Amino acid sequence: MFKKILILSAIFVIMSGFDLQAQVRVVKSAKDRNPTLMYRDVTGNPELAKLIASDLKNCGWFDMVDSGAEYVVTGAASGAQLQTNVCNGNGSPVFSLNSQVNSQNLRSTAHKTVDAILKKMFNVAGICSSKIAFAAQTQVGKKEIFTCDFDGQNITQLTFNNTLSVEPDWVPGKDEIVFTLYSKMFTDVVELDVASKRCRRIAQFPGLNSGAAVSPDGSQLALILSRDKQVELYVKSFGGKDLLRLTNGIGVEASPCWSPSGDKLCFVSDMSGRPGLYMVSPKGGATVKLSTQGSEAVSPSWSSDNKIAYSAKMGDYTIAILDLSGKEAGKTVVNAAGNWESPSWAPDARHIVCTRTSGGNSALFVVDTWTGRTRQLIGGKMNTVLPSWSGIR
């Protein structure tokens, strides 16, 4: 992705990926086993029962089995009421949940039910009710912004700009996205309301406006500008005109992301000769180079529990994790061929969504950073890239 920014700053086009078919080292976390779970059924609403079963499988927190499980899920739906029961494998009750059935949106009911189970059992933020935004090719040389559910279903096209609409990023706590929009001469950063699909430009300085990332409190944008013909990192107020330049040198910057508390930014720069990850305060000051794997490190994403996922060049690009808390050593989490790029954390701080490019085609995959398991989210002919996983909805 960093190489794309290098070219974009000069001629505003996107570079296609490449495939070196290399294998990479994988180091698993100690958290490498899920509890086993058997889903018996939710009676009274067959369609809802199937949706709950699908979410339990796709959430990634259980290994589904037909017998001998550590946990068993049962339930019953009656009208607008749903009771879900979780028991031990020996039949002893663990807990029950009572919730409302939304007959107009059974998918939402299933998502909320399984998220409540995950919260009760693992104390993690819901993954099933979240959304994923991404860019997908609609014609040669043209991309639009889409969203889908966490399991790849309910794909919805949000933009119809007939140009390049890329780099989506969710506005925390809102059903809004910012993205980069290409025109013939410039790129602008645009805010998009997902429900109404209405857009407004929020950064349109002459030259490059790209890579916008919204601060955790929604008050600021970190973005890449080329106001004086140098590609640099800036921070801008989301709704105003306040602007602060954070870098100033011959290096090219790209792909900023915010720390969970909003007091730091991680970004990509080639100021030392090769693309690597750096950290800086959004108030300005010295930059600090992070210790990463591979000959290059690009496209960082910062989790809620202080880990940075990024794409490391190790022959092909693979997904690597840097734990800033120091609890775990740096590791790679993918061992499949192809280029794995643009990771984005799920709300559960365990899974990421990323792009895998192989054979000239790009698809979205979900990666379990604990176990290294992968599942294809969206593939086919869409050539999907640059995903962004929403927070809790």
Taken in order 151, 152, 153, 159, the sign of the CA dihedral is positive
pLDDT given for residue 241 in this prediction: 85
b/e map 250-259, b = 16+ CB within 10 Å: ebbbbbbbbb
pLDDT given for residue 32 in this prediction: 66
pLDDT given for residue 20 in this prediction: 27
pLDDT in tens, the chain (393 residues): 454 444 344 333 332 232 322 323 333 334 668 999 999 999 999 999 999 999 999 999 999 999 999 999 999 999 999 999 999 999 999 999 999 999 999 999 999 999 999 999 999 988 999 999 999 999 999 999 999 999 999 999 999 999 999 999 999 999 999 999 998 889 999 999 999 999 999 999 999 999 999 999 999 999 999 988 899 999 999 988 899 999 999 899 999 999 999 999 999 999 999 999 999 999 999 999 999 999 999 999 999 999 999 999 999 999 999 999 887 778 999 989 999 999 999 999 999 999 999 988 999 999 999 999 999 999 877 899 999 999 976
What is the assigned CATH class of domain 2-29+127-389? mainly beta
Q: Which amino acid is it at 201?
A: R
CA distance 59 to 380: 22
pLDDT given for residue 325 in this prediction: 85
b/e map 97-119, b = 16+ CB within 10 Å: bebebeeeebbbbbbbbbbbbbe
pLDDT given for residue 31 in this prediction: 65
Residue 360: phi, psi to the nearest 5? 85, -5
pLDDT given for residue 281 in this prediction: 98
- Protein fold of 36-122: Rossmann fold (3.40.50)
Tell me the domain boundaries of the chain: 2-29+127-389, 36-122
> What tokens appear for 257 in the block?
């992301």
Q: Show the 3-state SS of the chain.
A: CHHHHHHHHHHCCCCCCCCCCCCCCCCCCCCCCCCEEEEEEEECCHHHHHHHHHHHHHCCCCEECCCCCCEEEEEEEECCEEEEEEEECCCCEEEEEEEECCCCCHHHHHHHHHHHHHHHHHCCCCCCCCEEEEEEEEECCEEEEEEEECCCCCCEECCCCCCEEEEEEECCCCCEEEEEEECCCCEEEEEEECCCCCEEEEECCCCCEEEEEECCCCCEEEEEECCCCCCEEEEEECCCCCEEECCCCCCCEEEEEECCCCCCEEEEECCCCCCEEEEECCCCCCCEECCCCCCCEEEEEECCCCEEEEEEEECEEEEEEEECCCCCCCEECCCCCCEEEEEEECCCCCEEEEEEEECCEEEEEEEECCCCCEEEEECCCCCEEEEEECCCC
Nearest to 212 by CA among 247, 241, 237: 237
Report whether 286 contacts 280 (CB < 8 A): yes
